Amino acid sequence: MTFVILLTVLLSAFADSWLLGDEGPQGPSIGSTLKYGTIPVIAAIIGYGTNVIALQMMFYPLEFMGCFPDLKIGCGLDLPLCGWQGVIPMKAVEMATISVELMTKKLIRVEEIFARLDPQRVSEEVGDTLPDVVSSVINDAGRRHCPKLWEHLPGRVRKQLEDGVAAESRPMMARFIDDLQKNISSVFDLKACVVEVMVSDRRILNDTFLLCGAQEFEFIRVSGFYLGFSFGLIQMIIWMFVKQWWILPVCGVFVGYLTNVVALKVIFLPIEPCRPFNLFTVQGLFLQRQPEVSALYAKQCAERILSAEVLMHSLVTGPSSDKMFELVDKHVTACMEDQAGYYKPLFLMSIGSETWVDFRSGVCSEFRKRLPFLLTKIQKYTQETLQIEDTLRERLQKLPFRDFERLLHAVFEQDEIKLILVGAILGAIVGFLQALVQTPEQLGLGS
């Protein structure tokens, strides 16, 4: 294909130079042939190069590089004036928000996902660990909140309390998980979870785009070469008749701009498949790969965005974690009250009701500290049981084309004009460099 393109360029240039009489005694010179023949080749390089660079600038660098990051170009572009950060990482919060809104509205409900957990199975998963945890919780709370009494309290009484709470800890955990499932929408913020993950590690957002849109981005790069070459032929014809230096940078702008515009349109349009003249089917390239992209996106989400580890971490550290810990306190307190039983009057007489409440609160506080450790014990079970990858894949594959197009394009759409303009600017720069070579005398650099 490259040979055909180059041969076509040389033949066209040979004919053009002959037609225009730009030849020596032996016919068209190599110099005059190359003078025209290099125009479509350079246009192809511009098309390819600007697309490659523009794509790189969409994703990299992950963090701002330069100075005065708050100084923007303006004109609605919101781009840094004295440095650069990849457009996708720069807009991580907005893009993560768009992604999670699509996810929660069209694909999954947090109540449905957490309802798949079996409270009894969860209590069994942590069953071997709970007795030791409970024992350390009660001892630490006793030493910190009523140290004198705890030291002089008969060992038999302490053992009775520890054994009672330990024996009740499994049912307590099962009741807690059941209560958590019923109140999950108020104690867990899925949107905040996803946004935090994508913003704290901007590579995740980048990798999701690059993985799901790999073929489309490759198409943008390659199509830039062929479209640039095609536009270059037109540019060559114009240059045959209008040899003004400004023609080359202007054409560079059009090549850089149009190659990106055409490539983006072909990727996402038409959304619904259509058959022109009933001869062949036409549809956006991204939409044709719905089954494949669905599987890639689902796997990425399940492993890096909505993994059990991420969910458990967000549960205990997210903006609604205080409400979740209130549920923990509720069940730990009930367990303590139940197991104190026979010995509670002794506690109340010895330390008073206020100190008993402090001790009980201390137990809750110590249990809170150990809850993240307990949750690590159920990560494997949770990852397998929630079935996030399977759920997302199946529902993505069944989405109507119009909804599926939003998966990648909705996040990309608001900033694609920046990709297009970057291509146009780079095209202008290369076109100006081309003018320096073709017509240096018009720029006052030669005679």
pTM exceeding 0.85: no
Q: Using omega within 30 degrees of 0 as the cis cutoff, is the peptide bond preceding 270 cis?
A: yes
At residue 69, the pLDDT reads 67
8 band by pLDDT with thresholds 50, 70 and 90: low
Mean local confidence (pLDDT), 152-160: 71
At residue 250, the pLDDT reads 86
Alpha-carbon distance of 148 to 79, in angstroms, equals 64
Structure tokens that stand for 107 in this block: 């694909």
At residue 439, the pLDDT reads 77
Identify which has the larger pLDDT, 56 or 156: 56
> Residue 261 pLDDT > 60, yes or no?
yes
At residue 348, the pLDDT reads 60
At residue 178, the pLDDT reads 92
Is there a contact between 212 and 293 (Cβ–Cβ < 8 Å)? yes
For 378-402, how does the pLDDT look when each residue is reduced to its tens digit (9 = 90+)? 889 989 898 889 998 998 888 888 8
Lowest mean pLDDT among 66-75, 242-251, 395-404: 66-75
Mean local confidence (pLDDT), 412-436: 79
> Residue 16 pLDDT > 60, yes or no?
no
Query: In the chain, pLDDT over 70 holds for what percent of residues?
Result: 83
Alpha-carbon distance of 121 to 111, in angstroms, equals 18
At residue 116, the pLDDT reads 92
For 332-372, how does the pLDDT look when each residue is reduced to its tens digit (9 = 90+)? 888 877 766 656 666 666 555 666 677 778 888 888 888 88
Identify which has the larger pLDDT, 311 or 442: 311
